[in-house]
Copies of this chain bind each other. A is one copy, B any other.
Amino acid sequence: MKTENRFLKPTPVQYLEKLPGGQEIFIKREDLLGFSFGGNKCRIGAAFLEDMRRRGADYMVSYGSRKSNLNRVMAALCRSRKIPCLIISPQEEGVQEDGFNAVLADDMGAERVFCERSAVADTVEDTLRSLKARGYQPYYIYGDAHGMGNEETARSAYRDAYDEIRRWEEKNQVEFQAIFLASGTGMTQGGLLAGRRERGGREEIVGISVAREEKAGAAAVRRYAGMGNESICFETDYRCGGYGIYDAGIENVIQTMMERHGIALDPVYTGKAYAGMLRWLDRYGDKIRNVLFIHTGGLPLYFDYLNKRMEVER
């Protein structure tokens, strides 16, 4: 009982509502994972940290935008273990507000290195070389400087979460015909697909792309899943123009979710994915009865969204 359970897994699954098309929607509250505002990146970050420990490394190197949920969690996890953490971030064009995830990562003492988007691989290599020269054994979460080679670690997080879902289904005698989630890097969807393969599951696992186009996005998901050319559901019709872009339809879904269920969705990931899911089910969901939406968290982005709205209204 005194063993640490900082994530408070398994996360609860909650019944939400019946859609006009007859589908019953359930939601898995990954946003309530108990560490650093929760979200899928808790599980994924923990998998990286564990892999790092196994390999005997002592310096965490991550990559991602200033607004990244993963890097917020990564910085917090490292801090809690007293492991130094360095985040390489692309130089964004134009002046942008940083948002809460950036502040939270800074608070946790993460070191930050900026680079041009075209120079990521070089920057990763330089960073790793310089850390080694200083006597550290650095760990780069994505594998090699081109971001390849550590898919298995990322995959393990949601392969395990897939098992959690199966156990819930068995216990509650509910069978999901489809699982929906926001699909960005492909790590979460890839892990779920790997879990499904292992367990012989048959539900659709539908990734709603929040940014990437079909080709690059599906390739990333397959890579993280450890799959070949098997068909996957990576849906690019609901991207609303690209990463971080949203419209009145998505804002309406966010508002409705809060009104009906008191659950916060953000416009970058979960709100876009939920809105996409509703449209997908309307088009293709005839034969689907029970649906699980995975709330992948990202709470700081919800408050960024409120900040942005408050600025506009001022």
Contact = CB atoms under 8 A, between A and B. Distances in A.
Interface of A: 1-6, 8, 12, 14-15, 24, 29, 32, 34-37, 76-77, 79-80, 100, 103-104, 107-108, 172-174, 255, 258-264, 299-300, 303, 306-307, 309-310
Contacts of A107: 255, 258
Nearest to A82: B259
27 contacts: A1-B15, A2-B15, A2-B24, A5-B15, A6-B14, A8-B12, A8-B14, A8-B32, A14-B34, A29-B34, A32-B32, A34-B263, A35-B263, A36-B262, A37-B264, A76-B259, A77-B262, A79-B259, A80-B260, A80-B261, A103-B306, A107-B255, A107-B258, A108-B258, A108-B259, A299-B299, A307-B307
Nearest to A97: B310
Given A6-B261, A32-B34, A262-B80, A306 B12 contact: no
A1 B107 CA distance: 41
A147 to B, nearest CB: 26
Nearest to A36: B262
Copies in the complex: 2
A103 B309 CA distance: 10
Nearest to A109: B259
Max chain B CB contacts within 10 Å: which of A15, A173, A174?
A15
Contacts of A300: 303
A104 B262 CA distance: 10
Contact of A258 (B8, B76, B309): B76
A255 B12 CA distance: 28
Given A5-B15, A36-B258, A307-B307, 19 more contacts: A1-B173, A1-B174, A3-B15, A5-B14, A6-B261, A8-B32, A12-B34, A14-B34, A34-B262, A35-B261, A35-B262, A36-B262, A37-B264, A76-B258, A76-B259, A76-B262, A80-B260, A80-B262, A303-B303
Contacts of A15: 1-5
Contacts of A2: 15, 24
